[in-house]
A and B are shown apart, each in its own frame.
Chain A
Amino acid sequence: MSGRRSLGGRQQSLLSRYLLIIVAALLFIPVGIPLTFAGYNLFNLQTAEKPPEEYKLYSNITALEEQWHQEALSLSGQTPDAIDRRLEELSGSYPLAAMFWVDGGGQTRQIHTPEDPQLQGQLGMDRIPAQWSAPEAIAFMKDAARQEPLAIVAFIGDRADAGEGFLVMQIPEKITEAYRFQSLSSWYILVLLIFFALFVAVSWLFFTGIRRRLLRLQTAMSFTGGAGIPEPIAPGKADEIGRLEEAFNHMVAELTVSRRREAEEEGLRKRLVADLSHDLRTPLTVIRSHLHVLGKEGLSRRGQESILLMDERIESLSGLIDNLLSYNLLSSGRVTLNPERKDVLRILRESAAAWYPLWEKDGFEVDISLEGEPLYWIIDESWFRRILDNLFQNIVRHARSGKYVGVRTVTREAGRAVVISDRGQGMDSTPEAAGAGLGLSIVDLLLNRMELARKTVSSQQGTSIEITQPQANNLNKI
């Protein structure tokens, strides 16, 4: 198929089409111009009036000249009367031409003129002097050279130094004109101009055609459909641009397939995680409800305490399962985030509101200071809540001893930052901090996906976690 395509492609190639235009334009000079020229003349010959039949005798001037010189040579040494007779004979053969001869003494002898008065007028026989002087001879020859009228002059004996005079034959302009090559008329120039304009128009059409198709392709590429993938475009001609369109469609199709595969994989992994979560949580629920039943039996104080402890452990195990499975989903990259421009302070307040009863119950000092203008970041709201949940959960579980939660904003060089702090024993102190790692790993994965940064300062006096959006500076100015 590819072989056939390349063959067909070559025929329809843009390059070959453009070459065709250029070759046509170039050929127009050496081939087209003579061809049209000939065509024009042929057309003229067909349509223009033909010279009358009796003019044919005078059509070949060269032959006439030769004959005239021959005649002059043969008259060498003849008596003037004999020359007169011969000239009269010749005049009979060429009735439309004027003839005369001048003898050795410069006297004009025997003038024969055509009968047609129009031809006579063109010859200007009245200007011929009776007695030739040198200036008159020169003036005559100058007129003859200009063909006004055409004069064939031959010395008798075909030699100037023979001194026997000369023979003159004059052919009227009307006859010579009839055989003169026709000059180019304005029509022909117009045809040339039309050809030139046609070339320009064809070139222009060729390039606007290419431009239009390229623009169409550009539009198709920059406009994305619902899934964030450009729509395929209707295939056009099978030339280079056509192949580009085809390649583009192919790419779009591949992209669509890979997106679908990705979505399928994401769905599969989510299913797996959901099933796993179900299988782990169901027995925990059973245990928890039985603990509840057990708690209602008359147990000793120690018994009640140990039931409470088990209940707490079940709760934290549930959190651990949640984190473990979330981490699995997040680290595999199989989670789609939907980042939007959101007010982070509002989410912080709402999240703190949800945690407040728990802090209150445990006797925490809650210091929330989130006043001022909204702080807009590009985040996925539900996953951002998850970050906060994990951080707050870590405080409740691992920094309980500090009895303090602080949530506030600070102004940094890159913009405002959110700070969540506690007064626990710090992250490095072993017994309290154990288990905080997974929650923080999830926080880091999520922060990374939302292009947020975490800076943690931890000491024996407490931990403070600062979250910034490095590129957020301009978001809040909108």
Chain B
Amino acid sequence: MGITLLYVEDDREIGSAVSADLRERKYAVRWQQSGEGAVEAAAGCQLAILDVMLPGLDGFTVGQRLKRAYPEMPVLMLSARTSIDDKLQGLEFADDYLTKPFHPDELAARIEVLLRRTGAAEPAPLVLKHLVVYEGNNVIQEAATGREILLTGKQFQIFTYMLRHLGQILTKEQIYEAVWGEAYIEGDKTLMVHIRYLREKLELDPAAPEIIETVRGIGYRVRA
């Protein structure tokens, strides 16, 4: 698949185990044991996995340098720390965050989400029930007939935002604020109306939606 990951981890045991696991998952892994030279090693990589506690340069510093050098490259932080302010500090620039001891499957899942979000993954079409979504070309088709489904600007924005957070439950506030860029006011029906029209276009039976699922009391979810 040709996806190269930069992995910075000082602990040899964790480093070799995680590298081996990721290689098994068909990623090329560049494992570095310290933050020195990480920026140089990141050339040609599609994603960086950084441990927070590194000897010498710590993970936050390395991450910030990487972000400056490659703003498009997603950075996933691994930490053995607990305190909440560390999480915030790390997430200011990092795209995701995972606390040790993590399960190798979870790491792999997070990597996949990040690669999909930035489009670094292969432009394989996303199959959602009866739909096929070509994310790179912004095209949505009915799998059976090949008929293209056309969405209005706001409908498209809502749908892409949900696709970017595939499998995640999103609250009304989160969707509204991401799409409209302003604070959600309780009682506003705009989003609900848009979702109703979106379902009329996307769903086979808008009364029993399968693509955009309603999670009662919380929000909406698009499941892979």
Contact = CB atoms under 8 A, between A and B. Distances in A.
B219 A349 contact: yes
B83 A273 contact: yes
Contacts of A285: 11, 14, 80, 100-102
A282 B14 contact: yes
B82 A321 contact: yes
A325 interface: yes
B100 A353 contact: no
A346 B21 contact: no
A243 interface: no
Contact of B81 (A274, A292, A357): A274
Interface stretch (B118-126, B166-174, B190-198): B166-174
A368 interface: yes
Contacts of A314: 101
B217 interface: yes
A349 to B, nearest CB: 5
Nearest to B215: A356
A278 interface: yes
Interface residues of A, number: 47
A368 B101 contact: no
A274 to B, nearest CB: 5
A289 interface: yes
Contacts of B1: none
B101 A284 contact: yes
B14 A353 contact: no
A386 interface: yes
A416 interface: no
Contacts of A356: 169, 215, 218
A281 B88 CA distance: 20
Nearest to A345: B186
Interface string B69-109: 00000000000111111111000000000011111110000
B216 interface: yes
Given A288-B102, A292-B104, A352 B17 contact: no
B101 A353 contact: no
Give the interface SS of chain B, mostly helix, strand, loop or mixed: mixed
Interface string A350-385: 101110110000000011111111100000001100
B13 interface: yes
A277 B216 contact: no
A17 interface: no
Q: Which has the most chain A C-beta neighbours within 10 Å: B102, B104, B217?
A: B217
Q: Count chain A CB atoms within 10 A of each CB in B53, B80, B99, B215 and give the residue with the most.
A: B80
Point out which of B82, B99, B170, B174 has the most chain A C-beta atoms below 10 A from its C-beta.
B82
A84 B170 CA distance: 143
Contacts of B218: 349, 352-353, 356, 368
Contacts of B170: 353
A277 B186 contact: no
Given A353-B169, A367-B217, A287 B83 contact: no
B133 interface: no
Contacts of A372: 186
Contacts of B80: 277-278, 280-282, 285
Contacts, number: 112
Contacts of A371: 217
B84 A382 contact: yes
Contacts of B14: 282, 285-286, 289
A62 to B, nearest CB: 105
B83 A353 contact: no
Interface string B133-174: 000000000000000000000000000000000011111011
Interface residues of B, number: 37
A273 B170 CA distance: 33
Contacts of B102: 285, 288
A290 interface: yes
Nearest to B107: A289
Interface string B40-62: 00000000000001000000000
B122 to A, nearest CB: 25
Contacts of B186: 372-374
B10 to A, nearest CB: 10
Interface string B176-194: 0000000000100000000
A273 B88 CA distance: 17
Contacts of A374: 186
A329 interface: yes
B86 A274 contact: yes
A462 B83 CA distance: 32
Contacts of A321: 82
A337 to B, nearest CB: 10
Contact of B100 (A282, A325, A373, A382): A282
30 contacts: A270-B83, A270-B85, A273-B83, A274-B53, A274-B81, A281-B100, A285-B11, A285-B101, A286-B13, A286-B14, A292-B17, A292-B104, A293-B17, A311-B103, A315-B101, A318-B99, A329-B83, A346-B171, A350-B171, A353-B168, A353-B171, A356-B169, A356-B215, A366-B216, A368-B218, A370-B217, A374-B186, A382-B87, A383-B84, A407-B217
Interface of A: 270, 273-274, 277-278, 280-282, 284-290, 292-293, 311, 314-315, 318, 321-322, 325-326, 329, 346, 349-350, 352-354, 356-357, 366-374, 382-383, 386, 407
Given A286-B17, A346-B173, 4 more contacts: A285-B101, A290-B17, A318-B99, A349-B217
